[in-house]
Amino acid sequence: MLDMVLRLAAVLLCLTVHETCHGLAAYALGDPTARRAHRLSLNPLRHIDWFGLLMMFAAGFGWAKPVPVNPNYFKKPKQGMALTALAGPVSNFLLALLTLLAARIFCDVAAYSETNQRILDFLLMVAVLSIGLGLFNLVPIPPLDGSKVLFAVLPDRAYDWLMRNERYGMLLLFALVFFDVGSNALSKTIQWVFDLFCRMVGL
């Protein structure tokens, strides 16, 4: 039960940071929509999609409520959407680095105990989940963040068509998850990034 609670807390932390940073990036670029919707918050209840959270535990694939963004506020809508989208995965990588750095410091100063081991396990869990969330969202399939980054280099006509029809990408994602396509490559990439970050912080 404790392991489940810690995993839930780790998932909520990763998702909340991800979605909040989408909203902060949009706000910095001139779009107040997320702020007006009270989504510039580290309160996880403002970001949770309960079915998406359940799917994350049941299928290893889930989602939070998308932060509302209005590209009409951006001086350059395509570039603004790309930067807003990229803010989510980047925040997850930074969160992973910070938690691994905290884990290294914790190992240096804390004596071994069952409680301290739980804390260390939680920090490592957050790092792994955050890296996984960041990498998964960089996959260039709508509505994932990577698709908005990729779409930014397309001609306006193709960009508009893809943005209007991005909801159909969710069906493709469900099919990929159902048939277990790409999971091995994703797992190996998560491990590679995790090992790299551990070396960066000296863990």
Positions annotated as catalytic residues are 19
Buried b (16+ CB within 10 A) or exposed e, 66-97: ebebebeebeebbebbbbbbbbbbbbbbebbb
Measured distance CA(79)–CA(23) in Å, rounded: 15
Measured distance CA(93)–CA(77) in Å, rounded: 25
Measured distance CA(145)–CA(180) in Å, rounded: 21
- Under DSSP, the state recorded for 99 is H
